[in-house]
Amino acid sequence: MFHLFGNLLTGYGTAANNRGENEGNITTLQKLLWKGQVHTTVSAEAIRWALRYYWQTVSDEYAVNRRWDDDKNDNKWQDDNFNETSFIDDDVLGFMRAEAAKSEAYDDNEPKKKGKKSVPKGTTTARRGVLEVTRAVSTTPYVGDITFNAKSGQKSSTSLYGTEIHATRYQYGFALTPNRLKDKSRIIPVLNGLTSLGEVAGNHSRFLYDFSPDSLVLRWTHDFSPRFLYCFEEDEDGIISVPDLIRRVETGDIDPTELWIAGAIVNSDSEQLEELEERGANVFKGIKLAVESLQQKIALDLQLPQRELV
């Protein structure tokens, strides 16, 4: 059984609030303690939302159940009962709907006690998402940058507010087992989407941070574990490298022929990546070329029609 794993690194940019939450008059970034220092993070849910929106907007070929209405600023369901065969997002991202009980019901396995009321039982309609996505974590620590702004209100009133910002890159990983999909060919638009994301979250929908990968590592394998998540490291000079990935290959944990490596990392860590290429790794300077190459390999292994690559 084949598995697709990936670790993606965005370009360098300035990130702002990705939740719409604030503390007082400061819109805050999500943060976590990462390797002993405070880093900013973007949720997997925000990335998944952006992927669904990509399918909705890029082509009528991808039927999406949960569609975003830009005019009403809300989601609109095409089928409240869900359908993983018809809709790509129901199949790839999964779904869940919990409903309260319409009437009282007893558990037949529990003895009924005199005078005790029955407990209503609800129902759940759910499908676990096949695509798994990690949180995106900044490659550099957050040092507390904040911008202060003012806007005019009614009757000449002025409101002051601030926004936390972080100039950094983000990396995140994903995993997908195509045999778990109702339609295995949907692995192709998953790859297209994750490697083409534009806006992910942002400051109340006003902020642009390009989430398309500047560098990536993809692995097409029978191994059940990715073994290289969060493999990108950035030094004080902004140089990107993948020392843990190199170590994993050298120790035999990862077969280099299963790797597709592309983007700016090819120039940043060229010497070691040349060694990986000599060992059989697929190394490309361009992201799109690497994705197209892997898609051809996937289509061959899964016996997909060639039209699926379009």
CA separation for the pair 215, 264 (Å, rounded): 5
Task: Judge whether residue 103 has pLDDT over 70.
Answer: no
Residue-wise pLDDT for 167-223, tens only, equals 999 999 999 999 999 999 999 999 999 999 987 865 445 567 899 999 999 999 999
- pLDDT, residue 73, reads 75
Task: Judge whether residue 55 has pLDDT over 80.
Answer: yes
Task: Judge whether residue 228 has pLDDT over 90.
Answer: yes
Exposure string over 76-95, b if 16+ CB within 10 A, otherwise e:
eeeeeebebeebbbbbbbbb
Whether 178 contacts 191, CB under 8 Å: no
Residue-wise pLDDT for 13-42, tens only, equals 998 875 555 566 777 889 999 999 999 999
- pLDDT band, residue 245 (cuts 50/70/90): very high
Is pLDDT larger for residue 151 or for residue 143?
143
Residue at 176: amino acid letter: L
- pLDDT, residue 83, reads 86
CA separation for the pair 15, 13 (Å, rounded): 6
Reported as type and span, the H/E element at residue 4 is strand 3-10
- pLDDT, residue 166, reads 93
